Amino acid sequence: MGRSRRDHGVVPLLESVGVRLSSAKLIAPYVSSAGLPVLIDRVKFLKEMLFSSSAYAMLIGRNAKRMMTHLSIPADDALQSTLSFCEKMEARYGGVTMLGHGDVAFPYLIESCPMLLLCSEDNHLKPLIDFLKCIGIPEQRIASVLLLFPHIILSDVENDIKPRIHEWEKAGIEQDYIGRMLLKYPWIISTSVIENHRQMLSFFNRKKISIKVLGITVKSWPHIVGCSTKRMNSILELFDDLGISRKMVVPVITSSPQLLLRKPNEFVQIQKLWERFCVDLQKYLLQMWTVPSRRKSTFLLTLVFPNIIFLTSLGNIQSFYCWTQIGHCSPE
């Protein structure tokens, strides 16, 4: 019956896995050449490869959310299709926390990356899985990598993936560590992120900040590589306005690289709030990196920013400030 249809039965197949009819009609002409029996087997293989377990579903969703939040660079086609997939998931009930659930995520995955249906199991998908195992990704976590950056499934191991990993090795990051980074941040091997890293190197050179500092920040907070140099520059300029010298910037960004991902208005908000409590933020920032207050201060700045309005409503800013001091302080 399927063979007699003009779409060779591909549209009903796509509908059977949850793809919308309108999307199925658009996708079918591109993949029907593979043949219906092959596509049926491929759909089964992909679902087994990506959704055989939901043990890491919450972790996948959390990492996807962070990627969507922190990326501030122009996205190439691969990254854009990944963002499109995540945005479709986020728009439905359960959001990106449902990424690890096949019945929910698979239709959106096919709509965002229909060319997955043209990837040969023996010549492409199985070699990809073997390669990911070789660079230290546990078999049970491979699905996490592929769902967080589906375009990696379309990439050729020899011509695409290995050269991009080599780019990170040239940046001073060991292959074992790259494998660990890929578990949470597989989008770091997209061409736009690698190009942004090159721009970051030039940016740090212009700011006369050691390249080693960038390596440290990338290892401790890989989301940094998805941050545009424009945003970084605005934060560094704000640091300068607050009187933080270039010498002091280094311990600031190595201890709390996530500060570079913040927006300038967040710093302005907390500055105004602290001024209400007669706190000299400029003086405080210059002193905050001294031991033993550094860890508490880092916690303060990284925790308060995302919850600044909530903390204000509770009147807790002064309490947090007092907590970071070496001595004792009680709110007036």
Write the pLDDT tens digit of every residue in 167-220: 898 888 888 888 889 998 999 999 999 999 999 999 999 988 888 888 888 888
Q: Which two tokens stand for residue 115?
A: 């060319």
What is the number of domains present in the chain?
A: 1
Tell me, what's the pLDDT at 124?
A: 94
Within a domain: 299: yes
Q: How many other CB atoms sit within 10 Å of the CB of residue 34?
A: 17
Q: pLDDT (tens digit, 9 = 90+) per residue, 117-153?
A: 999 999 999 999 999 999 989 999 999 999 999 999 9
pLDDT of residue 210: 85
* First-to-final CA distance of the chain: 80
Token pair 């945005």 is found at: 87
For the chain, the residue count is 332
Euclidean distance between CA atoms 63 and 184, whole angstroms: 6
Q: Is residue 290 part of a domain?
A: yes
- Going by pLDDT thresholds of 50, 70 and 90, the confidence category of residue 31 is very high
Position 314 in a domain: yes
**Distance from C-alpha of 247 to C-alpha of 115, rounded to nearest angstrom:** 50
Is residue 24 in some structural domain? Answer: no
pLDDT at 43: 95
Contact call for residues 244 and 204 (beta carbons, < 8 A): no
Give the model's pLDDT for residue 278: 58
Q: Does the CA dihedral 28-34-36-41 come out positive or negative?
A: negative
For the chain, what is the mean pLDDT? 80
Taking only the tens place, the pLDDT of each residue in 81-121 is 999 899 988 988 888 888 888 888 999 999 989 999 999 99
303 in a structural domain: yes
Cα 74 from Cα 260, distance rounded (Å): 18
pLDDT digits (tens, 9 = 90+) for 39-74: 999 999 999 999 987 778 888 889 999 898 888 899
Task: Write down the pLDDT at residue 253.
Answer: 82
268-291 pLDDT per residue, tens = 776 676 666 555 655 555 555 554
Extract the tokens encoding 153.
Answer: 């499934």
- Range of weakest confidence among 23-37, 216-230, 301-315: 301-315
Distance CA 111, CA 19 (A): 7
What pTM was estimated for this model as a whole?
Answer: 0.78
Cα 185 from Cα 152, distance rounded (Å): 12
If you search the block for the tokens 């190009």, which residue do you land on? 195
Distances (CA, A) of 301 to 43, 242, 285, 321: 47, 15, 10, 10
Does any domain span residue 304?
yes
Residue 95 Ramachandran class (φ > 0 left, ψ -120 to 50 alpha, else beta) = left
Whether 8 is covered by a domain: the verdict is no
The predicted pLDDT at position 285 comes to 55
pLDDT of residue 246: 73
Q: In the structure encoding, which two tokens stand for residue 113, read together? A: 């990356």
User: Cβ(106)–Cβ(18) under 8 Å?
Assistant: yes
- How crowded is residue 115: how many other Cβ atoms within 10 Å of its Cβ? 15
Its domain, for residue 273, covers: 264-332
171 assigned to some structural domain: no
pLDDT score recorded for residue 284 = 57
Asked if residue 75 lies in contact with residue 192, where contact means CB atoms within 8 angstroms, the answer is yes
Q: What is the pLDDT of residue 276?
A: 65
